[in-house]
Structure 1
Amino acid sequence: MTVAGIITAIVIGAIVGMLGRLVLPGRQSIGVLLTIGVGIVAALLGTALAQSVGVATTDGIDWIELVFQVGLAAVGVGIVAGVRGGRTRSGRY
């Protein structure tokens, strides 16, 4: 993977991760880097899912692929926020 590919993955991951957080109701207690990581994984899985369904290569913007990516990001952010369970930096509950 080239440097441009890595930068593109980070940017797309950040956008997809933030959109995934916007879809979820309430407040998620995860950081920006974790959101970007979830977004990158969701973008890759969403693209693979769209390719397996056969909707990844359309003319213009691939809206169905984007819906898959954002939906997977919302699920991923929800899982990560649930696993973290509202922990604080100080370690107190």
Structure 2
Amino acid sequence: MGIIAALVIGAIAGWLAGQIVRGAGFGLIGNIVVGIIGALVASWLLPQLGISLGGSAIRDIVNATIGAVVVLVILSLIRRA
């Protein structure tokens, strides 16, 4: 069940990040990958900044979305270069 939950959270986070960073979406599979990578980035970055959002599925989605936005912004900057 953990893999399915990670895929669903990744898909939601990737889609939300694609909506926030206009023109940076990658389709369903790409959004899942960006969401999962974003969750990994956020799990490292947010504690470094001293940010803790509690514990729930909503927190996981918010964390993954924040990380996915960071990943999409970096990818957008690389694409433009």
| TM-score, scaled relative to structure 2 | 0.66
Matched to 1:73, the amino acid is A
- How many correspondences in the alignment? 77
* TM-aligned CA distance change 1:47 to 1:31, over 3 Å: same
Which ranges of structure 1 fall in alignment gaps of 5 or more residues?
86-93
Match of 1:15 in 2: 12
Select the residue among 42, 45, 50 that pairs with 2:46.
50
Q: Does 1:31 align with 2:27?
A: yes
8 Å contact 1:29–1:81 — kept in the other structure?
A: no
Q: Superposition RMSD on alpha carbons, in Å?
A: 3.1
Larger Cα-atom Rg = 1
For 1:81 and 1:36, the matched residues in 2 are separated by 20
Residue deviations 1:34-83, cap 9 Å, x none? 11101011123213333442514x376549x82x4323212323416954
Q: Distance in 2 between matches of 1:54 and 1:34?
A: 27
Work out the CA distance in 1 between the residues paired with 2:52 and 2:20.
Answer: 22
Which residue identity lines up with residue 46 of structure 2 in the other structure?
A
Distance across 1 between alignment mates of 2:26 and 2:72: 8
Amino acid at match of 2:24: Q
Instruction: Please report the TM-score for the alignment, with normalisation by the length of structure 1.
Output: 0.59
- 8 Å Cα contact 2:10/2:64 also seen in 1: no
Contact kept? 1:21, 1:28, Cα under 8 Å: yes
